[in-house]
Structures are given as C-alpha cells and as structure tokens.
C-alpha cells in the first residue's frame, strides 16, 4: 500500500534524519548497531534519537502556533539555545495576550 500524501512529521525531517530512521529500522531498533554503523558511541546515537523524537513531537503538536513551532524546531536543531527559545516564546505569548 503506497502513501498518497506524506505526513507532516515526515515532511519536516531533513535527509539526514530520514537516513537515520532508515538505518534505525534496518538495525531492528538496535541503538548499539546504529552506533556501530555510524562509528559513534551509544550515548551519541541515543541523543540523536531523542532529538529526532522531539522534532516529531513538535510537528505533531497542533496546539502550537507556527511561530512557536519554528522556535522549538530551531532549538531542537541547535540553531538557538533552549534558554533563548524559552525567552522568545514567553515574550511572544505576552504580546499575544496584550493583543
């Protein structure tokens, strides 16, 4: 059965993320095997998986406004730090309440 429409959470992943998911599935979910494939430690792979999970959760969270989702994605992708993300989201919510 082919999928006619790609789910948003998949569309929001970059090529590197898709490749990681493919390797994870081919390794039957074994983080130890994935670590060996990438030549990194288990904790490194675990961190990568945790960030990927966060990305998917952000994509699936329909309660967030687009701006808040963008800030969260930037934080998960290490484009901005989490403290900055919290400040930006907090200030945005304050402005929304005022309007």
- Mean of pLDDT values over 74-94: 88
Residue 63 has pLDDT above 70, yes or no: no
Residue 3 has pLDDT above 70, yes or no: no
Contacts 24+ apart (CB under 8 A), 72-80: 73/12, 76/51, 77/51
- pLDDT at position 77 is 79
Distance CA 91, CA 99 (A): 13
Question: Torsion angle, CA of 18/23/24/27, rounded to 10 degrees?
Answer: 160
Residue-wise pLDDT tens digits, 25-56: 999 999 999 999 999 999 999 999 998 998 88
């Amino acid at each position: 059965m082919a999928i006619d429409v790609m789910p948003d959470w998949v569309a929001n992943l970059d090529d590197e993320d898709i490749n990681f998911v493919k390797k994870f599935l081919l390794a039957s979910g074994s983080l130890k095997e994935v670590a060996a494939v990438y030549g990194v430690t288990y904790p490194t792979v675990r961190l990568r998986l945790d960030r990927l999970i966060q990305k998917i959760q952000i994509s699936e969270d329909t309660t967030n406004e687009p701006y808040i989702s963008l800030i969260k994605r930037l934080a998960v992708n290490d484009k901005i730090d989490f403290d900055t993300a919290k400040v930006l989201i907090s200030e945005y919510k304050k402005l929304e309440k005022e309007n």
